Amino acid sequence: MASITRPVVAIAGATGHLGKHVTTAFLSPGFQDKFSEIIILSRNESCLFQQSSFQSGVKLTTRRYNETNLEESLQGVQILVNTIGHAGHDFKTKIAAALPRTNIRVYFRSEFGVDHYGHDFAHLEWGEKKKHLANAQRVVSYMKICRVFCGLFLEDSIGPWFGLDTESGKYTSVGSFRTPVSFTSLGDVGRAVASLATMPTENIPDAVHVGGDSRSVEEIAGIMESTGAGRNDIECLPYEKYKKETTAEPSWDPAAYMWFLMGDGGIAHTPAFLGMTMSLLTLASGCGSGRQ
């Protein structure tokens, strides 16, 4: 597949929680001259991005899209980045169905979290993502489909929902509190995707793990203490018991599942845990360097 010089990029969900950071990365000075046009695909009436807010190295366009005009909205696009959140599974299915009638060469599909493909348990949310991948691979087998896994979003993950209750001085891990957990800021996720989009199509991996800041629960507690948060006592819950109880019934909420994955290395994007056969993207000064 031939490489594309200054391709046109469309970002679905561009004004959402993650999408706005991805869009900002593509429009940043380090990347905007790599693309001829950035198309913001949004179902909202208002747009957060204005051409005057950025340098003129790339054309910025907004397209309103919905279930009835997907094919039209994707015309002239070579790279599609899908940042639609967990509530949009039906819409993602419709996007996949429209792909064969477009000229898209590269599709960054909506993953951007935990790598759930090797799990020995079922989860409804991650099951839908697997279905979407299988459907996209079936209808556009010729297209480069890339999955980007970033671990936990840094801005959303340091809190009691993952046992990191700094305010009360109590940290709780499921299993080992010394297992590294990878956290990636939303901005770094955006820069990772933009960096991958600049690569020749044939060099883009099928799956990439972003190596953010990997820290154990014990290390996070120490960091918080050193910044004046006070002492954090660590308690460990029995891993097997918690996992068995959590996975006993189907669930759409991934938080409880990610909590035990934090303790078993399932969110550790380091060579020691990923192995040498997986693609790891590390970020330095806003640019990516890959190991495959």
Q: Indicate the domain borders of the chain.
A: 8-152+183-210+269-291, 157-179+215-264
* In 180-246, alpha helices (H): 186-197, 217-226, 239-246
The confidence score (pLDDT) of residue 287 equals: 37
d(C-alpha 139, C-alpha 143), whole Å: 9
The confidence score (pLDDT) of residue 241 equals: 97
CA angle 93, 98, 101 (to 5 degrees): 160
Q: Are 19 and 52 in contact (CB under 8 A)?
A: no
The confidence score (pLDDT) of residue 278 equals: 58
d(C-alpha 237, C-alpha 171), whole Å: 11
| 99 has pLDDT over 80 | yes
The confidence score (pLDDT) of residue 51 equals: 54
Average pLDDT for residues 14-24, to the nearest whole number?
Answer: 93
Residue 285 region, left (φ>0) first, then alpha (ψ -120 to 50), else beta?
left
d(C-alpha 112, C-alpha 151), whole Å: 8
Average pLDDT for residues 76-101, to the nearest whole number?
Answer: 88
The confidence score (pLDDT) of residue 3 equals: 53
d(C-alpha 13, C-alpha 190), whole Å: 13
The confidence score (pLDDT) of residue 98 equals: 92
Smallest Cα–Cα separation from 218: which of 184, 181, 187? 181
Residue entry with tokens 């429009």:
27
Smallest Cα–Cα separation from 109: which of 73, 135, 71? 135
Mean pLDDT for all residues in the chain: 87
The confidence score (pLDDT) of residue 47 equals: 60
The confidence score (pLDDT) of residue 182 equals: 94
What are the φ/ψ torsions at residue 237 (nearest 5 degrees)?
-90, 145
Q: Which amino acid is at 221?
A: A
| 55 has pLDDT over 50 | yes
Residue 14 region, left (φ>0) first, then alpha (ψ -120 to 50), else beta?
alpha
C-alpha dihedral sign at 100, 101, 104, 108: negative
Give the CA radius of gyration of the chain: 20
User: Domain spanning 8-152+183-210+269-291: which superfamily?
Assistant: NAD(P)-binding Rossmann-like Domain (3.40.50.720)
| 247 has pLDDT over 70 | yes
Q: CB-based burial of residue 52 (10 Å sphere; 0-12 exposed, 13-18 middle, 19+ buried)?
A: exposed
Q: Of all helices (H) and strands (E), which one includes residue 131?
A: helix 124-139
The confidence score (pLDDT) of residue 93 equals: 86
d(C-alpha 122, C-alpha 249), whole Å: 9
The confidence score (pLDDT) of residue 274 equals: 76
Average pLDDT for residues 259-285, to the nearest whole number?
Answer: 76
Residue 268 CA neighbour count, 13 Å, CB half: 21
Average pLDDT for residues 102-125, to the nearest whole number?
Answer: 92
Average pLDDT for residues 99-118, to the nearest whole number?
Answer: 92
Residue entry with tokens 């120490």:
222
Q: Which of the listed ranges 52-61, 114-123, 265-274 does the model predict with the highest average pLDDT?
A: 114-123
d(C-alpha 36, C-alpha 34), whole Å: 7
Share of residues in the chain with pLDDT > 70 (%): 88
| 1 has pLDDT over 50 | no
What dihedral angle (degrees, nearest 10) is formed by the CA atoms of 81, 83, 87, 88? -20
For residue 54, name the pLDDT band (cuts at 50, 70, 90): low
Smallest Cα–Cα separation from 138: which of 103, 87, 80, 99? 99
pLDDT tens digits for range 198-226: 999 999 999 999 988 999 999 999 999 89
